[in-house]
A and B are shown apart, each in its own frame.
Chain A
């Protein structure tokens, strides 16, 4: 029984693939989302080749240069320059690396913690379960940004601390979802059967439970990348985000906010970058939810 669940024939996979693609193109938002996300990932990977300038090179003579289509702008700085004369397009292109890195790696970190906690507490129950669920309640009661703010205030801002802090503050939602899934699955026949023939707990957890709960994780995780990108920009606004010379969309946006009234392009383009990618990720996540979550497939 377990075999049929964890292994699929190639033919089945192909048909699944087809079904996914069909579902994808039927969903307009899903198509748009996938397109946006793929483009952003490509931009981040190809940044060194795509960016026309170094993101850090300052140019005291060419500060606040408007985008090329405006008076005073030219082709060498397509989206204009910032208060230090740095090329905004290049900064946004390079910024995508850090923004995605923070978004993805903190979600992965939170996911690993959350999935493990969820699997074990859900499966074993007992004191462990009670303890972790009370811990989860505690984390849930403190808004993410607040916990991140206090932790970054304590440990000092920086790329690594930011990822760690966001990872540690976000594990709860995964733990809870996975736990509830485990609770419903573990009473099913195939798990009971495995238990009764003496299969090891560890094997049950990782070979039987894990494959069955991971799709819920993927859906939530995708949506989390979006909220993490937003959270990173909020923390930048509070001065606790990525620190220069590293650039993220959040830092470009928050550095540019003093110039919104005078040189609007400093903050508008990174703002658009964030908005568009978050939109794309959410669309993609919604679509994944539709195809991966059996309850919504109708």
Chain B
């Protein structure tokens, strides 16, 4: 018996040892932590940003994920970048660019740009990067880049991008997700897998480590081709999926910046003495897609208009979104090419007219419909859906909401099993009406929403390859007016970006939802 007790004792000690060992690493880090903490008072040079979900990959061409790109922009660069204030396209890696003819654009690279391993950036890297995504059918960004036919190298710094069709939005196209320029020599020598494990780019920060679903660590790159970042030595993105945990970390100073602060905590963050709330209107529109397929009540324009008129957009924004968010009738937001100002920051609300229209359409007592909505995907999406259904009830329309988990929701739409209406939030990283209004394209939505307006179709097709930008702009504005009149779908509002920031830090979010660490400074 005694011997057995001994063995048990050993076992328990073993367990403790394992814990103790894991604590040893921990203690090491704890010391580091305290070091950092003492620095905080004086000179904290590590910036910690809390995100809600992990990044997906370092393959810049193989994701369609805004929050992944928000990290990538700090270690990769595009040829050109879009100014978030003016919408103007500015040089980034490229020093200059010009449109040679309908199909050809010529660029000149800045000289002396280096990747994080010291290799200099040349036209070869550009050719490799753009052609990889323009021809790689298995890549997730392929469909947004296959308009590019080839990249023709003129010399080390000069090259031409040649497109299949006239491409008025080429510059927008190459200043967004999957536009990052990769190091071709490094990848050729080491293989792509090695690159994925040890990625390098040209950006202000270089990769240190990525612990999945925990953290991604970067450090400042001394030889950055623009000015080296003087504020931060280290950059840490921490993954904290639970909202309340993320907010708690911000309030206790565990992180410097936390994204996606839920409206419930806005006051807590702004009232707290050490934090403030930074808000900006995003480029993401929350919309209700209506089914125009024959047989559905929503195939009647009057019904669609009635549903739109029954929704008090401002009430939704005030009671659910803490007043942040902009009601809109069109899905093309300011800063986008083709923006129709008179359809923005306004909404139609008229209950009496809505009831009249319903009666005219043959539904004096309303009707019953199915309304699908994702849940937890967009800011207060489920709550918005429930409130919209409550508003429709006022004109006699009973909307049965079916909440769906995201992947099932995507499948439902792909299988065209969607019913009368569904809720969707759409971003637009191209900042161009072409991308935004493609959601009204009859061919693409055949069987899903079945909306068709031949006039709109013509305008969109003409604008797609129209190199006369002024005329193109007119075409898009005209299309949006037609769509608004038709109430093809109901556009609710532009979402707000809500970021919690420590008092000691200056940060203004940008509407493209990227996190440009170079714009985050210490006060």
Chain A positions within 8 Å of B, measured between CB atoms, are 58, 60-61, 63, 83-84, 153, 156-157, 239-240, 243-245, 257-263
Contacts and interface: CB of A to CB of B under 8 A. Distances in A.
Contacts of B408: 156
Given A84-B386, A262-B264, 5 more contacts: A58-B387, A60-B390, A245-B386, A258-B265, A261-B268
A153 B405 contact: yes
B233 to A, nearest CB: 33
Nearest to A260: B244
Interface in B367-387: 375-376, 382-383, 386-387
Contact of A262 (B268, B315, B404): B268
A258 B390 contact: no
B403 A244 contact: yes
B267 interface: yes
A239 B262 CA distance: 17
25 contacts: A58-B386, A58-B390, A60-B315, A60-B320, A60-B387, A60-B390, A83-B264, A83-B320, A83-B383, A84-B387, A153-B407, A239-B375, A239-B376, A239-B405, A243-B375, A243-B403, A245-B386, A257-B244, A258-B243, A258-B265, A261-B244, A262-B264, A262-B265, A262-B268, A263-B264
Contacts of A240: 405
B319 interface: yes
Contacts of B375: 239, 243
Contacts of B319: 60-61, 63
B247 interface: yes
Contacts of B407: 153
Contacts of B320: 60, 83-84
Contact of A244 (B315, B382, B405): B382
B459 interface: no
Interface of B: 243-244, 247-248, 262, 264-265, 267-268, 315, 319-320, 375-376, 382-383, 386-387, 390, 401-405, 407-408
Nearest to A57: B390
A260 B265 CA distance: 10
Contacts, number: 54
A83 B401 CA distance: 18
B244 A243 contact: no
Contacts of A153: 405, 407
Contacts of A261: 244, 247-248, 265, 268
A58 to B, nearest CB: 5
Contacts of B387: 58, 60, 84
A48 B58 CA distance: 55
Contacts of B262: 258
A187 B390 CA distance: 65
A243 B382 CA distance: 11
Nearest to A244: B403
Contact of A258 (B264, B267, B403, B404): B264
Nearest to A243: B403
Sorted nearest first, the 5 A-B pairs with minimum C-beta distance are A60-B319, A58-B390, A243-B403, A259-B264, A156-B408
Contacts of B405: 153, 156-157, 239-240
B268 A244 contact: no
A167 B387 CA distance: 34
A58 B315 CA distance: 13
A243 B402 contact: yes
A84 B383 contact: yes
A261 B243 CA distance: 12
A63 B318 CA distance: 11
Contacts of A258: 243-244, 262, 264-265
Nearest to A263: B264
Contacts of B383: 83-84
Nearest to B404: A156
Given A156-B405, A239-B405, A244 B244 contact: no
Nearest to A86: B386
Contacts of B315: 60
Contacts of A243: 375, 402-403
A262 B376 contact: no
Contacts of B247: 261
Nearest to A257: B244
Contacts of A157: 405
A54 to B, nearest CB: 11
B264 A244 contact: no
A278 to B, nearest CB: 23
Contacts of B403: 243-244
Nearest to B248: A261
Contacts of B401: 244-245
A237 to B, nearest CB: 9
B416 to A, nearest CB: 17
Given A156-B404, A240-B405, A257-B244, A262 B267 contact: yes
Nearest to A82: B383
Contacts of A83: 264, 320, 383
Contacts of B268: 261-262
A245 B370 CA distance: 13
A57 to B, nearest CB: 8
